Homo-oligomer: A and B are copies of this chain.
Amino acid sequence: MDFSSFCTSLGTSFLIFFVLMILFAILQSKPGNNVVYYPNRILKGLEPFEGGVKTRNPFSWIKEAFSSSEQDIIAVSGVDTAVYFVFQSTVFSILVICGIILLPVLLPIAITAAGGKKTQTTSKGTFNELDQLSMGNITAKSTRLWAFFIACYWVSLVSLFLLWKAYKHVTWLRSEAFKTPDLKPEQFAIVVRDIPPVPEGQTRKEQVDSYFRAIYPETFYRSMIITDNKKVNKIWEELEGFKKKLIRAETVFADSKTTAKPEGTRPTNKTGWLGLIGKKVDSIEYYNEKINELVAKLESEQKITLKEKQQNAAIIFFSNRVVAASAAQSLHAQTVDKWSVFGAPEPCQLLWPNLKIKYFEREVRQLEGIPTESHVARAAAGKYFYFTVLNVFIGVTLGGTLFKTFKQIQNKPKDIVPVLAASLPGNATFFLTFVALKFFVGYGLELSRLVPLIIFHLKRKYVCKTEAEVKEAWAPGDLSYATRIPSDMLIVTIVLCYSVIAPLIIPFGALYFGLGWLVLRNQALKVYVPAYESYGRMWPHINNRILASLILYQITMFGYFGVQKFYYAPLLIPLPILSLLFGFVCAKRFYPSFENQALEVAAAEVKEVPNMELIFRSFIPPSLSSEKIDDDQFEDARSEVSRQTSFV
């Protein structure tokens, strides 16, 4: 790639971004698009925009994003989102602080170097301008390499310092969130798995209740036995489907009552496969019939489920936050494969089908036994991160020379560091363009929401008949960390690895995270609705992955200094050791409070006396809750009210 095509590529990306910005400014001002650009606010029952339609100018969203505080974000979108912004602003700060020093120092040193005979190239020889601005322009063994050497230390130390601050801040955010006096049902409950077989003459409920009542005579409230809901869920989903279809048929019928044909046309459908074959029936009657049928079926299946499909797991409710927090961290039985506990997650996050999996099976299966949604997201993000770093970064870097070097690496595996280091500079231009494309086009599309907008309008016009269907069409979804963070992390890896070799990449990286912060701030405030709240539990993973990138950078720099025949390269060895030590210290110091809840936090005062009945009910899955099912029936899978509640 030569200089002009680099500029063309950059210009095109920027043009696309500019067009998308203009489109956003126009489209978001149309009230008909409010559900696409302000769904979060609409779902919360707020007005889409505060100051009235007229005062909105195309850039007011920037002002709004900047003026929003971390507390606003937590209020609107939860701690997880706030932690995501901590991640973005941390990386942004790292890059800005590095750039302020590296750009004015390294660029002049590189450009004034004896560029006569190039020893290295950052653009495969076609892009002279970038070559002159990079470490490749320095002749081997030059004393100028000392500047780059010091820059390596600067980048590492700045990163570690800001990561430490961020970890501290996230820990604080987490503890503040737990300390709020609002009642969180999950703070009063623990999940117990691996319950031993029911003893002769006892029910599962009696077994669980007597076990926990013996240990917590005063604070045990009730238990809810986990059941196998596969069948009842299926019936419930079928029922919900028919309910939707009924509303749709009724809407179609009502819409067909025009002045020309006041009696309307009763909709019909075929009962067979996909409604395409089989007997033709009156839809409203057919669906009503089906619903009645399924309601009866659901009720009987609910009874069967609660009575006969009890599993070896349960949710235990306590009337005290501190006891629940302490119980979640304590060993209950002598062997860990019996009565093993963990703190309950939000009710909606709990994956009931995974709870019955036994201890050693869980250890072996790893992913299949994960008990919560957020844990699944974290595990997926981890896999995706290692996949992108290996494939995109190392893959592209070694790409050209891969087959040539493969044999070499196979023979001497430790050669991978110098090989990677030697191949890095050649791909600087590629990654510069890659980062620019990512933020200009990626964030342009993100902000303008062109795709969701088009899909929404198409659906509304051709598919949706009822209110509920329209609402479903514009449902915004959540920020989806599982894929967003790994793709940000790829940029972190690229920018860190090139930060010293080709410092020109730093402003691009800073722009990526700066623009990302701005655009997503808007999206978090107005668009996305978080699916769950894990109180920033993904931070330790983010921290570790930034560290992994940093270590990769330090090792490749060590290799590259070797390629440059800089004899003091071994002085870089303390850096990866320092990073590993940092990771170890973080894991020791901060991680426990992400895994367990600190008791001093749980001991903070609550606003009101907890309504244990409501807390208990919030954990009942929708397929098992029904207005018709009275308490007595549910009793089978849950305990009687504890002594405390019945006598006090």
How many copies of this chain does one complex carry? 2
Chain A window 337-354, contacts with chain B (Cβ cutoff 8 Å), 1 for yes, 0 for no: 101000000000000000
Distance, CA A332 to CA B326, complexed state (A): 9
- A390 close to B (CB within 8 Å): no
Partner of A598, one of B172, B334, B360, B590: B334
Partner of A590, one of B322, B335, B588, B589: B335
- A215 close to B (CB within 8 Å): yes
- Chain B neighbourhood of A603, CB < 8 A: 214-215
> From residue A323, how far is it (CB to closest CB) to chain B in Å?
8
- A599 close to B (CB within 8 Å): yes
A215 touches B171 (CB 8 A): no
Distance, CA A593 to CA B332, complexed state (A): 9
A331 touches B215 (CB 8 A): no
A589 touches B330 (CB 8 A): no
Name the residue among A174, A599, A600, A601 with the largest chain B CB count within 10 angstroms: A599
- A175 close to B (CB within 8 Å): yes
Distance, CA A322 to CA B327, complexed state (A): 10
Q: For chain A residues 569-585, which have a beta carbon within 8 Å of chain B?
A: 585
Q: For chain A residues 339-397, which have a beta carbon within 8 Å of chain B?
A: 339, 360, 363
Partner of A329, one of B329, B335, B337: B329
- A264 close to B (CB within 8 Å): no
Distance, CA A325 to CA B602, complexed state (A): 18
Query: Known: A322-B215, A327-B326, A588-B363. Contact between A334 and B171, CB under 8 A?
Result: yes
Q: Contact residue range for chain A?
A: 35 or more
Query: Known: A360-B585, A588-B363. Contact between A334 and B599, CB under 8 A?
Result: no
- Chain B neighbourhood of A332, CB < 8 A: 598-600
B211 touches A600 (CB 8 A): yes
- A596 close to B (CB within 8 Å): yes
Name the residue among A325, A326, A590, A596 with the largest chain B CB count within 10 angstroms: A326
- Chain B neighbourhood of A7, CB < 8 A: none
A599 touches B330 (CB 8 A): yes
- A333 close to B (CB within 8 Å): yes
- A621 close to B (CB within 8 Å): no
- A592 close to B (CB within 8 Å): yes
Partner of A335, one of B171, B360, B596: B171
- Chain B neighbourhood of A597, CB < 8 A: 331
Q: For chain A residues 545-593, which have a beta carbon within 8 Å of chain B?
A: 585, 588-590, 592-593
Query: Known: A363-B588, A600-B215. Contact between A330 and B326, CB under 8 A?
Result: yes
- A336 close to B (CB within 8 Å): yes
B325 touches A330 (CB 8 A): yes
B593 touches A337 (CB 8 A): no
- Chain B neighbourhood of A337, CB < 8 A: 589
A330 touches B331 (CB 8 A): no
> From residue A192, how far is it (CB to closest CB) to chain B in Å?
12
- Chain B neighbourhood of A588, CB < 8 A: 336, 363
Distance, CA A600 to CA B330, complexed state (A): 10
> From residue A487, how far is it (CB to closest CB) to chain B in Å?
31
Distance, CA A214 to CA B600, complexed state (A): 8
B329 touches A331 (CB 8 A): yes
Name the residue among A216, A339, A589 with the largest chain B CB count within 10 angstroms: A589
- Chain B neighbourhood of A599, CB < 8 A: 215, 327, 330-332
> From residue A593, how far is it (CB to closest CB) to chain B in Å?
5
Partner of A175, one of B172, B174, B334: B334
Q: For chain A residues 298-337, which have a beta carbon within 8 Å of chain B?
A: 322, 325-327, 329-337
A331 touches B596 (CB 8 A): yes
Distance, CA A588 to CA B334, complexed state (A): 12
- Chain B neighbourhood of A331, CB < 8 A: 329, 592-593, 596-599
11 contacts between A and B (CB under 8 A): A171-B335, A214-B600, A214-B603, A215-B600, A216-B322, A326-B327, A329-B330, A329-B331, A332-B599, A333-B598, A360-B585
Supply 5 further A-B pairs (C-beta < 8 A) apart from A174-B334, A333-B600.
Answer: A215-B599, A325-B330, A331-B593, A332-B600, A336-B593
* 7 closest Cβ pairs, A-B complex: A215-B603, A326-B330, A334-B593, A331-B596, A326-B326, A329-B330, A334-B598
